[in-house]
A and B are shown apart, each in its own frame.
Chain A
Amino acid sequence: MYSKDGEDYFIVDAHVALWDARPENQRNVHGKQFIDCFYDYHRNLSPESEVWSYEDYLYQGGERLMHDLFEVGYVDHAIFQPAALGEFYHRGFGQTEEAFALAEEHPDKLTYNHNFDPRNGEEGLAQFKRDAERFHLKGVKLYTAEWHGESRGYKLDDPWAYRYFEAAQELGVKNIHIHKGPTIRPLDRDAFDVADVDKVATDFTELNFVVEHCGLPRLEDFCWIATQEPNVHAGLAVAIPFIHTRPRYFAQIMGELMYWIGEDRIQFSSDYALWTPRWLIERFVDFQIPEDMTEYAPLTLEQKKKVLGLNAAAMYDLDVPAELRLPDAEEPATGPRQPERADLAGAER
């Protein structure tokens, strides 16, 4: 819970990790390159006071995670979104057993999502069914640029992926979190393209598709798809830290998301341990679209509350104290949300 100026905010951090990138877990140079890339993201976008040492960054462990999220981070509930990355790390990047044990120990605070890879075929499908039962899965995290033997990526509309989505629908694993990466087969196309999200969202209307990083670096493609597909949502992982380094850019991201997909389908994510939630939440509550950006409506208190926790709580059936709940916005299921704001000079005319 975060409280400021007499207002209480129920906080759900919809994307956290318990990773292990220490040298002894790195399988090859790519394991080092991967965490180094994360560390550069962290150093580049964090306020100076929030920058960790490289050693701290490699591995946090459960105790530190609990401290960073719940003791000092204002988070009421967090959702693990583990990346497997078995080609880069001996025991995987996301630490399944450790994270799941924590979630078992603190079911009120943590939800464990797992992952699957459609390239594992029948065997992987059977494993996914066992995992769904064992972990009581409500969601999975998919990394489409995961390396897998000779393959370095897949598309969500690949035939095998459809088999897994059919199973997910049957098993009630309703929340599919998608993270796009740089490689895909064939390499001829833009690996960050989100056209495949469009297809699966149309074909699996009972599933929610949360596109992490709100489609960045393809925000425009994501917005165009999400405005037409009511079951496509935006995760703010990696987008929200811009609130510190480039607040005007962040204002444009938020403005675009509010315009195209509306206040009920945007979820706060710190992407812990890339960043910690505390400063992001403080900044977001204080944040406002600059007055000179008349093409966007100002963010309302209700919108901030929904983004910071209520939207993800609804998706995961989390118990929100009655006094903190809000009704859904009276918005159309598809199409732009603030058509009256489409006019740049709307405010003056």
Chain B
Amino acid sequence: MTLTPTRDGARLLEADDVRRALDAVLDPELDEPITDLGFVRSVDLAADGSVEVHLRLPTSFCSPNFAYLMVSDAKDALTAITAGRVVVELDDHHDSEIINRGLAADAGYKGTFGGEAERDLEELRATFRRKAHTAAMERCLTGLLRAQPDLAEAALGTVTMGELPAGALTEALRRRRTALGLPDTPDALVLVDEHGAGYPPEEVPLRLRRARSTRISIDGNAHFCRGLLRTRYPGSGADQSDRPEPTFIPLTDLSHQEDR
């Protein structure tokens, strides 16, 4: 991309920079970037290097804690790439006023929500990072089952990262493991809890089943939210892009991950 130097030598922010910074902001619940979900409504760049971004959500009643995480993460991501003024606002939400006021004042989560906030949202983030890992793990293992019909389900407890085929699903699992601080070496077990501990063979089928319900839940929510956004904001579908990692795949298709 072209760099536009300013008089003092700093580079002016461009729309691409903003987009790339916001690509790193995830909807914690859906485990997808807010850009791909179509949550970025507008980006306005001014000549003095300041930027104003508006976000939108699928309903007025999306959880305010998740909404806050996304707008504050977006502001942090943009503040990191420009010295200019950064304004991020959430439109059309039941807590828009509270969140936008808190964000403008850099009041933090507790300052924004006052008595409704107890500590911080780190535990909430951690919960959904764990779920994202569980879903990614299930996609990989189910893919393996599909690809190797003679593989017994109970044997999945000993499958290692090195035995997974190369592909988008495996890459996605690697990223989720890294986010949780789990090892990514070829000899590391795939089917593990959030602390990296494996399971005895007799527990494996039930663990896989639980992981599957997590994956179904996340995939379903993501699709519902995308659809609701398109209903609420006509034309917003054009701003949504397919997630880089395939989702909502019939289990039968999981064996073809290397084709995608």
Interface 1/0 per residue, B109-148 and A, CB below 8 Å: 0000101111111011001100100000000001001100
> Of B119, B131, B220, B251, which contacts A295 at CB under 8 A?
B251
A318 interfacial by beta-carbon distance below 8 Å:
no
Check B221–A187 contact: CB distance below 8 A: no
Q: How many residues of B contact A (CB 8 A)?
A: 52
Task: Judge if A91 is at the interface, Cβ distance under 8 Å.
Answer: no
Partner of B216, one of A191, A253, A342: A253
A-B contact count (CB 8 A): 134
Name the A residues within 8 Å of B210 (CB-CB).
220, 224
Query: Within 8 Å of chain A (Cβ to Cβ): is B59?
Result: yes
Closest to A238 in B: B224
Contact (Cβ within 8 A) A192 B63? yes
A336: chain B residues at CB < 8 Å are 206, 209
B248 within 8 A of A: yes
Q: Verify B117–A292 contact, CB threshold 8 A.
A: no
B227 touches A190 (CB 8 A): no
Contact of A33 with B115 at beta-carbon distance under 8 Å, contacts A216-B220, A248-B250, A344-B145 already known? no
* With contact pairs A189-B124, A220-B216 given, residues A344 and B146 touching in the complex (Cβ less than 8 Å): yes
Least Cβ distance of A119 to chain B in Å?
14
- Residues of A within 8 Å of B119, CB to CB, are 186, 188
For B213, give its contact among A185, A186, A220, A249 (CB under 8 Å): A220
Q: Which of A37-45, A110-118, A228-236 contacts its partner? A: A37-45
**Do A185 and B250 contact each other (CB < 8 Å), given the known contacts A192-B63, A220-B216, A249-B219?**
no
Q: Does A152 contact B (CB under 8 A)?
A: yes
A182 with B64: CB separation less than 8 A? yes
Interface flag for A5 (CB, 8 Å):
no
Docked-complex contact B206 and A187, CB < 8 angstroms: no
Docked-complex contact B61 and A219, CB < 8 angstroms: no
Residue B252 CB within 8 A of the other chain: yes
Q: List residues of chain A with CB within 8 A of the CB of B248.
A: 248-249
Q: Which of B60, B119, B127, B252 has the most CB of A within 10 A?
A: B60
Q: Say whether B82 faces chain A, with CB atoms less than 8 Å apart.
A: no
Measured CB to CB, the nearest residue on chain B to A251 is B250
What CA separation (Å) do A219 and B219 show in the bound complex? 11
How far, in angstroms, from A208 to B140 measured CA to CA in the complex? 38
Q: Does A256 lie within 8 Å of B216, measured CB to CB?
A: yes
With A152-B116, A219-B213, A249-B248 given, is the CB distance from A188 to B121 under 8 Å? yes
In contact, A259 and B209 (Cβ under 8 angstroms): yes
Q: Which parts of B214-242 form the interface with A (CB within 8 Å)?
A: 214, 216-217, 219-221, 223-224, 227-228, 230-232
Verify A40–B59 contact, CB threshold 8 A: yes
Q: What are the interface flags for A9-40 relative to B under an 8 Å C-beta threshold, 1 for contact and 0 otherwise? A: 00000000000000000000010011011001
Which of B149, B206, B250 meets A293, CB within 8 Å? B250
Residues of A in contact (CB 8 Å), total 52
- Assess whether B46 is interfacial by the CB under 8 Å rule: no
**A260, CB-defined interface residue at 8 Å:** yes
Q: Is the CB of A191 within 8 A of B63?
A: yes
Which A residues lie within 8 Å of B216 (CB)?
A: 219-220, 249, 252-253, 256
User: Chain B contact residues: over half helix, strand or loop, or mixed?
Assistant: helix
CA distance A220 to B153 in the complex (A): 20
Q: How far is the CA of A32 from the CA of B219 in the complex (A)?
A: 29
Question: Is A63 part of the binding interface, using a Cβ–Cβ cutoff of 8 Å?
Answer: no
**Min CB–CB distance B126 → chain A (angstroms):** 11
Given the complex of chains A and B, what is the CA–CA distance between A33 and B228 in angstroms? 14
CA gap between A252 and B149 in the complex, in Å: 21
Contact residues in B for A181 (Cβ distance below 8 Å): 61
Residues A187 and B113 in contact, CB atoms below 8 Å apart: yes
Contact present for B221 and A217 (CB under 8 Å): yes
In the complex, chain B residues 163-217 whose Cβ is within 8 Å of any chain A Cβ? 205-206, 208-210, 212-214, 216-217
- Indicate if B29 sits at the interface (CB-CB under 8 A): yes
Chain B residue at minimum C-beta to C-beta distance from A152: B116
**CB nearest neighbor in B for A28:** B94
Contact pick for A182, options B62, B131, B205, B230, CB 8 Å: B62
Q: Flag whether A218 is at the interface (Cβ < 8 A).
A: yes
B205 close to A342 (CB less than 8 A): yes
- Chain A residues near B50: list those with CB within 8 A: none
Q: Are B220 and A186 in contact (CB under 8 A)?
A: no
A152 to B228, CA, bound (A): 24
Chain A residues near B146 (CB-CB < 8 A):
344
Contact of A40 among B153, B212, B231, B250 (CB under 8 A): B231
For window 171-214 of A, CB contacts with B under 8 Å fall at 181-183, 185-192
Of A182, A292, A343, the contact of B250 (CB 8 Å cutoff): A292
Residue of B nearest to A181 (CB): B61
A150 within 8 A of B: yes
Contact between B220 and A343, CB atoms less than 8 A apart: no
CB distance from A256 to the nearest CB of B (A): 5
From the candidates B60, B123, B251, name the one contacting A36 in the complex (CB within 8 A): B60
Contacts of A187 in B (CB 8 A): 64-65, 113, 116-118
CA distance in complex: A224, B214 (Å): 10
Residues of the A chain whose Cβ atoms lie less than 8 Å from the Cβ of B213: 219-220, 223-224, 256, 260
Tell me the nearest residue of chain A to B142, going by C-beta.
A344
The answer to whether A343 touches B228, judged by C-beta atoms less than 8 angstroms apart, is no
A245 interfacial by beta-carbon distance below 8 Å: yes
11 contacts between A and B (CB under 8 A): A33-B61, A186-B119, A188-B124, A189-B65, A224-B213, A260-B213, A293-B251, A342-B206, A343-B205, A344-B153, A344-B251
Please give 6 more A-B residue pairs, beta carbons under 8 A apart, in addition to A187-B65, A189-B124, A220-B213: A37-B59, A182-B64, A188-B65, A188-B124, A245-B227, A253-B220
